[in-house]
Chains A and B, each alone.
Chain A
Amino acid sequence: MPAPFLTPISGRGRPDYSMSIQRSVSPTSILQSQIGLTVTATLPSLVYPFVYPFIVGIKYPSGEIPAGYPIIGYNVTVTGDTNADSVAGVQIYEDTDYYTDVIGTLFDTVFIKYAPKVAELHASRGFNIEKYAGKYLVVLFAHYSANPMTTMTLSVHGLIDIALSEQSLFKQTVGGGVNF
């Protein structure tokens, strides 16, 4: 019996195993990648309006990820171990130096939340950070308590949700340098 004629199956999506068609479906590939940052430290109490900035940066070369694809940060939480006034915020800065930790000029405020006498802030509203390509995302946090030192935990969650065509996928453009 002669060996059956086999067509190599390549590409993405649902394979079509019929002999004459290599690929009948070429769907859009959806990639989801979660990003996360958790910082725990014992910090001195501050006074309003002073805060600790933490650069978590969106430093990918603009143009590498096509415009219009959402990169979403959806959760910033600041938790303290005492019942203190806390603040959590996300601001976008220009001219910031990631390596020397020098904060530049304020470009935009995504949100700032205060929690008077509550030790937990929970910002569940997602925000699209795609429009801030090339700039720096700075997470602000602080506690204003009577205790001189308080242990705080800062957590930032995000989701890179990029829908790319198959061609773009091969260029390995996904996840380019969202540095957390």
Chain B
Amino acid sequence: MSDFIELEYTIIDEKGKPKKVTKKIKKSDLDVEMTVNGKKIKRRLNIIKLETPSEKPNKKAKTTKK
């Protein structure tokens, strides 16, 4: 089992094309000591991919009949 978490993301390269890149993060780095409301706890952090809300289609502008 790998000691790393691979985060795959897309960048735009010099030619303007999308390129998939991977960033590795040590799993042990995610075992952090947090201070939550003054109390120290140990916790392994999750990582999720941010889902942005889908854009709603623009409503057609209302026209008034003259």
Which A residues are within 8 Å of any B CB, using their own CB?
Answer: 36-44, 46-53, 87, 89, 91, 101, 103, 106, 108-109, 112, 140, 149, 180
Report yes or no: B48 in contact with A36, Cβ–Cβ below 8 A: no
With A and B bound together, what is the CA distance between A100 and B52 in angstroms? 24
**Main SS of the interface on chain A?**
strand
A106 to B48 alpha-carbon distance, docked (Å)? 11
The reply to whether B36 and A38 contact each other, CB–CB distance below 8 Å, is yes
Q: Which residue of A lies closest to B51 (CB)?
A: A106
Contact in complex: B48, A50 (CB < 8 Å): yes
Number of interface residues of B (CB under 8 A): 23
Closest-CB distance, A45 to chain B (whole angstroms): 9
CB pair B49 A49 closer than 8 Å: yes
Instruction: Please count the residue pairs between chain A and chain B whose beta carbons lie under 8 angstroms apart in the complex.
Output: 70
CB <8 Å contact, B25 and A44: yes
With contacts A38-B37, A41-B34, A41-B35 taken as known, whether A52 is within 8 angstroms of B9 at the C-beta atoms is no
Q: Contacts A49-B50, A89-B50, A109-B52: A43 and B32 contacting too (C-beta < 8 A)?
A: yes
Q: Please measure, in the bound complex, the distance between the C-alpha atom of A52 and the C-alpha atom of B43, giving whole angstroms.
A: 12
What is the minimal beta-carbon distance from B30 to any residue of chain A, in angstroms?
A: 7
Pick from B9, B36, B52, B53: contact of A50, CB under 8 Å: B9
The residues of A that contact B46 with a CB separation of less than 8 Å are 52-53, 101, 103
> Which residue in A38, A108, A109 is a CB contact (below 8 Å) of B35?
A38
CA of A50 to CA of B37, assembled, Å? 25
B9 pairs with A49, CB closer than 8 A: yes
Q: Are B34 and A112 in contact (CB under 8 A)?
A: no
Instruction: Pick the contact of B53: A36, A38, A109 (CB < 8 A).
Output: A109
> Which residues of chain B are within 8 angstroms of A43 by Cβ–Cβ distance?
32, 45
How distant is the Cα of A17 from the Cα of B5 in the complex, in angstroms? 70
